[in-house]
Structure 1
Amino acid sequence: MENKRTLTTEQLEDAKRLKALYESKKKTLGVTQYMIAEELGISQGAVGHYLNGRNPLNLNVAAVFANILQVSISDFSPSIAAEAERLSKVSNVSYAGELKPRKKYPVISWVSAGAWCEAIEPYTLKEIDEWLESDAHIEGEGFWLKVQGDSMTSSVGPSIPEGMNILVDTGKEAKNGSLVIAKLTDANEATFKKLVIDGGSRYLKPLNPQYPLIQVNGNCKIVGVVVQAMMWL
């Protein structure tokens, strides 16, 4: 039987730093060893071997860990980060720095979205089962919603059909023409509409002309502005 290669002190330190990052970020990011295993195409046990210093990290594995944990490779393995830079210098592709990870945002319910306007915690991390990535610039807090109904479906111009995921930025200023998530005082859930400002009056306008225009007269609070929409096929 072939003897298992002993890791160097440097490799063990890399694993130690990586495991510390994983433990500190897994709850906040909703990351599990199973998710990492799926991304790498290996078993969950093999992921544990990397974290516990039983198998040495390599550039490909380090890049996946860095992306999922939203850190730089140099945060846990300066030597592998240096290797990536050296490799780029001997190729015909210039090194542009380490890949910046896409940030993950929670997918929440429409009731939770409406609670952003109230003096309560809209959700807890324990309630979040799904997180989606985005490289959009978010000015405040961000979260995803899954579109319900056909009020924002249109045969002409922009159309955001049922089932599409939309990313909401709670810190972005809502302007005339913005697609917004709003909370009406007489509703438990948030609603998704286009903000129209005309002559000092404000309206929530569905993209679907079959739905009525809603005039805003102090009966509505804007939760956030939709900055991205996508659909999984």
Structure 2
Amino acid sequence: MPESVFKQPVCDDLDVHTENIVFSIFKVNSYCYCIFSKNINMSIGTRIKEARSEKGLSQKALADAVGMRQPTLSALESGKTQSTSLIATFAAKLGVNALWLETGKGPKYLDRPNIEPAPDIQGQVPVISWVTAGKWAEVIDIYQPGIADEWLPCIKKHSNRTFALRVKGLSMFDPTGKHSYSDGDIIFVDPEKEAINGSRIVVRLEDSKEATFKQLVIEGDKKYLMALNPSWPNRIIEINGNATICGVVIGKWTDE
């Protein structure tokens, strides 16, 4: 189907093919007509190169993403190779319609989904008990049997000693606040992340075997632990050397 047609008084008959557009110029009576149309005969490699450029990917980056050697992709894009068995993979990585990529027919882009791709997993983290969390600094080998019965994927970059805990109670539940943690939520805790004012931390008090979960408040040379729940009794307590910070919360996961 022609994209557009225009006429001029003088011309010679001419067919011109480009990578993306074909236009034909022909003369009828005293007028010259030019018909533009999409070039559906462009090669698979040309369409891959076009979509790759639009995504801002280097040839090597795309080759790595689809599991292909860069010279093989280069041969495909240059037209030396005319086909590939990885059309679906290319289409998924480039975010284009597989039919368009293979044949040039149909829309280049399908309707976009209303969800984003999941973040990359940064590693597996052990889910441990609150008692174990209180003495986590003493654990030499976090992979030793009995440390954890469950391991969960964490999407946040973290140190190799990061652990996870299942929240107990509602002391950190604040439905009106930016941060809120319900009973049963899983929090990811990094012992190597620096605790600053406002950090949600896991901390063990000297008179307790278990760790606890609170927000750190620093005012001058004084430190406090604060429950986020505005209705919690004894919401704020001062700590003065009688507490050991086990780690800083870097994220949470909520079960449905």
Scaled to the shorter chain, the TM-score interval is 0.5 to 0.7
Q: Which residue in 2 is equivalent to 1:135?
A: 155
Q: Could you list the runs of 4 or more consecutive aligned residues of structure 1 that deviate by over 3 angstroms after TM superposition?
A: 88-95, 99-102, 119-125
Over 3 Å counting, the alpha-carbon distance change for 1:93 and 1:113 in structure 2 is closer
Alpha-carbon separation, structure 2, partners of 1:171 and 1:82: 38
RMSD: 2.9
Letter in 2 for 1:142: T
Q: Which has the higher helix share?
A: 1
Q: Which residue in 2 is equivalent to 1:198?
A: 219
- Shift of residue 204, structure 1, vs aligned partner: 0.5
Give structure 2 stretches of 5+ with no counterpart: 1-63, 74-83, 96-118
Q: Which residue in 2 is equivalent to 1:68?
A: none
- Shift of residue 123, structure 1, vs aligned partner: 5.6
Alpha-carbon separation, structure 1, partners of 2:176 and 2:90: 51
Among 199, 214, 229, the alignment partner of 2:252 is 229
Over 3 Å counting, the alpha-carbon distance change for 1:92 and 1:126 in structure 2 is closer
Over 3 Å counting, the alpha-carbon distance change for 1:81 and 1:161 in structure 2 is same
- Shift of residue 156, structure 1, vs aligned partner: 2.1
Higher relative contact order (CA 8 A, sep 6+): 1
What is the DSSP-based 3-state SS (H/G/I as helix, E as strand, rest coil) of the residue aligned with 1:137? coil
- Shift of residue 102, structure 1, vs aligned partner: 3.8
- Shift of residue 159, structure 1, vs aligned partner: 1.4
Q: Which has the higher strand share?
A: 2
Greater Cα radius of gyration, structure 1 or 2: 2
Give structure 1 stretches of 5+ with no counterpart: 1-77
TM-score w.r.t. the length of structure 2 is 0.52
Do residues 217 (structure 1) and 240 (structure 2) align? Answer: yes
What is the DSSP-based 3-state SS (H/G/I as helix, E as strand, rest coil) of the residue aligned with 1:112? helix
Letter in 2 for 1:211: P
Q: Which residue in 1 is equivalent to 2:79?
A: none
Residues 167 and 184 of structure 2 are in contact (CA less than 8 Å); yes or no, is this contact kept in structure 1? Answer: yes
Do residues 145 (structure 1) and 131 (structure 2) align? Answer: no
Q: Which residue in 1 is equivalent to 2:112?
A: none
What is the DSSP-based 3-state SS (H/G/I as helix, E as strand, rest coil) of the residue aligned with 1:125? coil
